Amino acid sequence: MDNNYNRRSFIKVTALSGGGMLLGFNWFVNRTQRQMNAAGTPADSDWTEFNGYISISSDNVIRIMAPNPEFGQNVKTSLPMIVAEELDADWGTVEVEQASFDTSLYVRQFAGGSQSVRTTWKPLRNAGASARYLLRQAAANAWNVPFEEVSTNSGKLIHEKSGKSASYGEFATAAASLTVPKDVPLKSPADFRIIRQSQKNVDGHKIVTGKPMFGMDYTEPGMLIAMIEHPPAFGLKLKSWDGSRARRMPGIKDVFTISLFPEGYERESFDTRTFNELVVVVGNTTWEVMNARKKLQVEWEPVKEKKETVNAFGNKREETIPAGLESSERHLEIMQEMAGKPARQLRKDGDPEKAFAEAARILERTYTAPFLAHNTMEPMNCFARVTDTEALFVAPLQAPEFAERSLSKRLGIPVDKIDIRMTRMGGGFGRRAYGHYLIEAALISQKIKSAVKLVYSREDDMTYGIYRPAYTATYRAALDANNNLTAFHVKGGGFPEHPVAANRFPAGAVDNYLAEGWEMPSNITIGAFRAPRSNFIACAEQSFLDELAELMGKDPIDLRLELLQRAKDRPIGTSNDYDADRYAGVLKLVREKSGWGNSTANGLHRGVAAYFCHNSYAAHVIDMRMRDGQPYVEQVFSAVDCGIVVNPDAASNMVEGAVVDGIGNALYGELRIRDGAPQQRNFNTYKMIRMHEVPKKVEAHFVRNDIDPTGLGEPPFPPVFGAVANALYKTTGKRFYKQPFSAGFETEQGGK
Amino acid sequence: MAKFNLKVNGESRQVDVDPSTPVLWVLREHLNLTGTKYGCGVASCGACTIHLEGMPVRSCQLPVSTVKQQEITTIEGLSASGDHPVQEAWIEHDVAQCGYCQAGQIMSAAALLKNNPNPSEEDIEAFMTGNICRCGTYLRIKQAIVAASQK
């Protein structure tokens, strides 16, 4: 979308309470703290809507729509900040509202891939700048002065020569009747007043007072509660069921089955068919449905191998879903077997075979990591009211566009009859990009002809799949007699996808380079998990580089900088996907901020790692020590280059969270499979990082530049794992190759 | 089903539910107080933390029949307008990311400070270890508790 967006210039008389809507309007509106304490809502005032993003009331309340789903990345604050900047609004008088899903008004309404700020940066700035332009024009017309002489300052229109001034609200109606010019100039970053200033979370007050805002909190009179019973293991399906006892339990309305997709359905990228047939219990309340589920009599049987067609954005491919009950132990054995075999070539530079044959020294190491469950604090859930002809959903979800398409196909309802309202999400991490729970809720609502909220228990959520895949990678490096790195080889594999990004560093920095990947079909369903693939391969690669630097007798940061210099001066190949200068930039910044090379005090041991993914660069130095016989991360220094930082304190929060998430998953994260069944079902068996295991300090530093924002939710996460592994080596004298690393601590101590 | 008279946030409330129903679900689905969150149902995450007679308890493991006349306080009743020192410190430190666990974190923190107005870092860590934050905002939670303790 550019300046020629779908401009809708009409006057809307809207009572803020929005009577008559299915959804109470205020449910999605948020005022800043200052406004909460001030006069309050300008009820019944006239609102002028400039475009999908901005409405201004006659008494000068500016409402900005937050277009993208919010799951903790703070876009509900940062995206409206971008609009307000170009609008030159007074941020303190802005109220923010979560937009509904509407492709006619907004660009990609998607939470994932660290894309929200990156993809909306220009459209949001254009929206703000265009509205400001119209307001200035309206004032110029009314005051009969040249357009250029009308300036703005924090929500005020000013004509200095005549001393005239007015609020935006006074000219909102007049401005909306004007035409938006083609190219409205945008501010120079040097003139930013809102962007680059820390602004508090617009939902902060609601969060700390427990206001309803999550999908789980949504309710309507007469709404029923539904829960699903899925097979206890991957590789099993429904054989027979008897719901008669469950149906007789108090508060229960019905027990039946649903089938997600018919045979032959072409799955799209975010469609999943983990367990196609599910038993459903519907009742009045969650507790009654939970109790009734215990009375279900269900038999399961093994699945047969099947072929499915996947339609990934037009590219069709056949996928084999194998039969059998898989286990993590067997996966590890297969990984070991595959480490010694050639795999599919992904990239080759020079003659790596020859270089390895002629090497004076070769370093070879293999790394593994298990399945991970996303474990969003809010389990999957979805409100649905679906008839044969139209559908309403209120749900926490990351990818409404993909969900809507799948819903339309499955239900036979055109997309314009499907209304999706996005609630705040209690975490996402990739998990809520997969909209199966909307389809489940829709089928249940259709069947029982009622509004219904589908609720997953924690156990349902954790054992349903959509996991981070189980991965392995084997790295080899060849050194000649003069200690030069002559060849580099990575071979990665996994269930059911490999983790290798073939064009990523150190590709481009080594003359002879080989990248390979293998993939093993599995009936355990996987999905995007914060920085997919990178969240494993960064750890393997950065651990390997650390060990390689040691073998070469070099400082680990120096080795990386030498390789990056090589990639900049004389790059090998043309498709390297990183910018060597920005990559080196975060290493240099973290070196400076951590005082790298100086002796560390009090028995602290340091590890470093850096990585590039999702268009941004991050590096961490982790200081670790032994505490009560266990390695403990005491403090972390982080350096990030994500271009312009929109909301600095919130960005620091994101980096701190990524560091904690990375430490937790590196040390403890594991979803083990035995006989097809997940061995962790709740937080009493799935170890999550907790308060006492968190560093005392995380210092987040950002490279200052004027590059358009390149994304932040994911990039700081992957290199944490590598920095943990490298600090562990310095702390314990032992290299850790197998995640979760804490399993290795326990063995050292004689087992637990 | 049975009728229970509860004292919730200073008000008398009557509910007609199965005696085994956890207070969590009574609050959320019978009294429309959804600030108290469901996270695990096995008292392992702390999202459902409320105060019972001022003591922090996991409401997912508290059958309504055991409450009797004990005073229940939820996040909605912690303060009149979100001005409890812990709530204010949470906003000041912009703690939340997704926000789902924070009501439970705040209820735990408020209970900690009530019994131990000047907790050490170790006290905070020990007391708050039952509350999971999947987004990893623990550092800010700790900073906010320290700040609130100084008020």
Of the residues A155, A174, A203, the one at which a domain ends:
A203
* Strands, sheet with A452-455, edge to edge from the N-terminal-most edge strand: A252-259, A277-283, A224-229, A452-455, A381-386, A391-395, A418-422
Which residues in A691-705 are b (16+ Cβ under 10 Å) and which e?
Answer: bbbbbeebbbbbbee
Contact A655, A640 (CB under 8 A): yes
DSSP secondary structure string for all residues of B52-113: ETTEEEEGGG-BGGGTTTPEEE-GGGSSSSS-SHHHHHHHHTT--SS-TTHHHHHHHHHHHH
Provide CATH code, domain B85-149.
1.10.150.120
Residue of A nearest to B126 (CA): A692
Question: Does residue A260 share a domain with residue A119?
Answer: no
Cα(A655)–Cα(A73) distance, rounded to whole angstroms? 10
User: In this complex, which of A209, A216, A692 lies closest to B38 when CB atoms are compared?
Assistant: A216
Query: Measured in Å, how far apart are chain B's first and last C-alpha atoms?
Result: 45
Each residue's pLDDT expressed in tens, for chain B with a length of 151 residues: 999 999 999 999 999 999 999 999 999 999 999 999 999 999 999 999 999 999 999 999 999 999 999 999 999 999 999 999 999 999 999 999 999 999 999 999 999 999 999 999 999 999 999 999 999 999 999 999 999 999 8
| Tens-place pLDDT, residues A653-678 | 999 999 999 999 999 999 999 999 99
Contact A653, A74 (CB under 8 A): yes
- The residue with tokens 């312009």 is A644
- Token pair recorded at residue A450: 């009622």
Instruction: Give Cα separations from A455 to A213, A288, A694 (angstroms).
Output: 16, 12, 31
Tell me the chain B residues in contact with residue A428 when contact means C-beta distances shorter than 8 Å.
Answer: 98
Question: Does residue A258 share a domain with residue A166?
Answer: no
ipTM of the complex in this document: 0.99
Q: Where in chain B is the domain with CATH 1.10.150.120?
A: 85-149
Query: Which pLDDT belongs to residue A314?
Result: 85
Question: Does residue A634 share a domain with residue A491?
Answer: yes
β partners of residue A369: A471
Residue ranges of A 287-316 with Cβ closer than 8 A to chain B: 287-288, 291
Of the residues A432, A455, A478, the one at which a domain ends:
A455
For residue A156, the enclosing domain spans 10-203
How many CB atoms lie under 10 A from the CB of residue B129?
Answer: 15
Query: Which pLDDT belongs to residue A269?
Result: 85
Question: Does residue A494 share a domain with residue A601?
Answer: yes
User: In this complex, which of A200, A428, A656 lies closest to B136 when CB atoms are compared?
Assistant: A656
Contact A640, A617 (CB under 8 A): yes
Query: Is the Cβ pair B25, A286 closer than 8 Å?
Result: yes
* Residue bearing the bigger pLDDT, B149 or A30: B149
Question: Does residue A499 share a domain with residue A401?
Answer: no
Question: Does residue A522 share a domain with residue A391?
Answer: no
| Tens-place pLDDT, residues B119-141 | 999 999 999 999 999 999 999 99
Contact A631, A693 (CB under 8 A): no
The mean per-residue pLDDT over the stretch A243-265 comes to 96
- Give the residue from A31, A209, A459, A667 with the most B CB atoms within 10 Å of its CB, the best one to mutate: A209
3-state secondary structure A594-646: HCCCCCCCCCCEEEEEEEEECCEEEEEEEEEEEECCEEEEEEEEEEEECCCCC
pLDDT at A30 over 80: no
Query: Which pLDDT belongs to residue B148?
Result: 98
pLDDT-derived band of residue A746, with 50, 70 and 90 as boundaries?
A: low
Query: Is the Cβ pair A287, B18 closer than 8 Å?
Result: yes
pLDDT at A301 over 90: yes
Question: Does residue A538 share a domain with residue A422?
Answer: no
Query: Which pLDDT belongs to residue A13?
Result: 25
| Tens-place pLDDT, residues A421-443 | 999 999 999 999 999 999 999 99
pLDDT-derived band of residue A9, with 50, 70 and 90 as boundaries?
A: very low
Question: Does residue A174 share a domain with residue A249?
Answer: no
Question: Does residue A527 share a domain with residue A444?
Answer: no
- The DSSP symbol for A416 reads G
State the amino acid at position A309 in one-letter form: T
Q: How far apart are the CA of B123 and the nearest CA of chain A, in angstroms?
A: 10
Provide CATH code, domain B2-77.
3.10.20.30
Residue of A nearest to B77 (CA): A209
Question: Does residue A516 share a domain with residue A440?
Answer: no
Query: Is the Cβ pair B29, A286 closer than 8 Å?
Result: yes
Residue of B nearest to A429 (CA): B135
β partners of residue A476: A364, A489
Q: Look at chain A and report how many structural domains it folds into.
A: 3
Question: Does residue A81 share a domain with residue A230?
Answer: no
State the amino acid at position A211 in one-letter form: K
State the amino acid at position A299 in one-letter form: E
| Tens-place pLDDT, residues A474-493 | 999 999 999 999 999 999 99
Question: Does residue A266 share a domain with residue A173?
Answer: no
Cα(A133)–Cα(A82) distance, rounded to whole angstroms? 16
CATH number at residue A412: 3.30.365.10
